[in-house]
């Protein structure tokens, strides 16, 4: 993460606790876990603090020499931490960036300085988020910045409990969960709701983002899926269906809300209770009649004669390991090649998730010597 050392650390000297915290921060920077931002005057002044180790002084000198390289990064992140003298944790907006002020003494415990946690409902979700962050770094032309994070699966419905643990321990954590929404205006799912309930303004080193679609699979670009399932029938037919939903026709809005795991058919739509989900899908059905699997009479009568055996598929289910195979494919790609796959339909999801994951995970290689 981008850690900014505030100029209020100038002058008065540091307590033994603050000096220990600074040592922890500089050790983490030496490992490449975080990037440091601050004035050159501050880095020179901190280098004169009595009791600092030789390696800590060397790291301060090196970090001070690299400040010119951090100017673009300051505006590429969505969040950064500003480390000062005292007080609690306060967040304010500066030029569109959330700046989280944290007292230096907070970092006296080593586990608060290690790589940030990227927490997903399962590890595959976290791994996808990491790839989105890697892609975002390329989009913002931050090619020298490395992703330095720990990928953790929260165990589905237990994700909120896991998130609370990192927050209460004061560890850097960015949590990403599915919205589980089936239509625009639908309420978010229980897992997302419980995670958001755990957010605390005075402990903002732990942050959470809820997707604006159904599940992680909905954010996978169609061109990526084409690579993943290349030559595998009948899965290629599903890619063709997605290409139809990506083309900008009025029906394209349903892509965010289709069920990639179980499939979405007319019977499911007609079984929805009155409310925003049913209204959205009934309206969408009127624009989906041209799909080869949708029978027009089922749409006009708002009735499915086949019930559980309904064959009017908006989108059939994909293979169970789709997300795992997609992440594996992405991990072998350069960010530039990934960018060629991200389509207009999924770009908003990638920018939203990728920007915060990049912000929590940006680091560099270990310092040698």
Report CA-CA distances (Å) from 366 to 52, 67, 262. 20, 17, 44
> Hunting for tokens 């339909």 — which residue is that?
345
12: Cβ–Cβ under 8 A, 6 or more apart, which residues? none
Q: DSSP letter for 88, please.
A: -
- Please give the chain's pLDDT, 369 residues, in tens: 999 999 999 877 899 999 999 999 999 999 999 999 999 899 999 999 889 999 999 999 998 888 766 778 988 999 999 999 988 899 999 999 999 999 999 999 999 999 999 999 999 999 999 999 999 999 999 988 999 999 999 999 999 999 999 999 999 999 999 999 999 999 999 999 999 999 999 999 999 999 999 999 999 999 999 999 886 656 677 888 788 777 756 567 899 999 999 999 989 998 999 999 999 999 988 878 777 777 766 766 666 666 677 888 888 899 889 999 999 999 999 999 999 999 988 999 999 999 999 999 999 999 876
Which pLDDT does position 69 carry in this prediction?
A: 63
Whole-angstrom distance, CA of residue 139 vs CA of residue 146 = 14
CATH 1.10.4160 fits 116-216+336-363, yes or no: no
Pairing of strands 362-363, 146-147: antiparallel
Say if residue 248 is exposed, middle or buried (CB neighbours under 10 Å; 0-12, 13-18, 19+): exposed
Per-domain residue ranges of the chain? 2-109, 116-216+336-363, 230-315
Stretch (H or E) spanning 91: strand 90-94
What kind and span of H or E run contains 340?
helix 335-341
Residue 368 is predicted with a pLDDT of 74
């Amino acid at each position: 993460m981008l850690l900014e050392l505030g100029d209020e650390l100038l002058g008065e000297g540091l307590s033994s606790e603050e000096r220990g915290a600074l040592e922890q921060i500089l050790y983490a920077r030496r490992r490449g876990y975080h990037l440091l931002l601050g004035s050159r005057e501050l880095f020179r002044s901190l280098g004169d603090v009595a009791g600092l180790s030789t390696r800590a002084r060397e790291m301060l000198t090196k970090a001070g020499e690299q400040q010119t390289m951090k100017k673009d990064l300051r505006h590429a992140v969505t969040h950064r931490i500003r480390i000062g003298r005292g007080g609690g944790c306060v967040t304010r907006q500066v030029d569109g960036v959330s700046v989280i002020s944290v007292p230096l003494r907070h970092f006296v415990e080593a586990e608060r300085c290690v790589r940030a946690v990227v927490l997903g409902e399962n590890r595959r979700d976290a791994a996808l988020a990491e790839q989105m962050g890697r892609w975002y770094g390329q989009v913002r032309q931050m090619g020298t910045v490395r992703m330095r994070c720990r990928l953790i699966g929260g165990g589905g419905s237990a994700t909120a409990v896991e998130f609370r643990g990192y927050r209460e321990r004061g560890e850097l954590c960015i949590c990403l969960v599915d919205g589980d929404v089936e239509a625009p205006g639908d309420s978010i799912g229980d897992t997302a709701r419980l995670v958001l309930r755990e957010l605390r303004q005075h402990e903002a080193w732990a942050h959470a983002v809820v997707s604006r679609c159904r599940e992680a699979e909905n954010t996978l670009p169609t061109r990526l899926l084409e690579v993943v399932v290349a030559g595998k029938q009948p899965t290629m037919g599903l890619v063709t269906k997605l290409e139809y939903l990506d083309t900008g026709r009025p029906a394209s809005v349903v892509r965010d809300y289709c069920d990639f795991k179980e499939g979405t058919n007319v019977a499911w739509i007609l079984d929805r209770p009155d409310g925003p989900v049913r209204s959205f899908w009934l309206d969408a059905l009127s624009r989906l009649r041209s799909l080869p699997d949708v029978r027009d009479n089922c749409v006009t009568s708002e009735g499915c004669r086949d019930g559980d055996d309904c064959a009017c598929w908006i989108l059939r289910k994909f293979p169970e390991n789709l997300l795992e195979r997609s992440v594996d494919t992405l991990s072998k790609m350069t960010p530039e090649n990934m960018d060629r796959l991200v389509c207009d339909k999924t770009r908003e999801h990638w920018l939203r998730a990728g920007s915060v994951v990049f912000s929590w995970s940006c680091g560099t290689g270990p310092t040698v010597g």
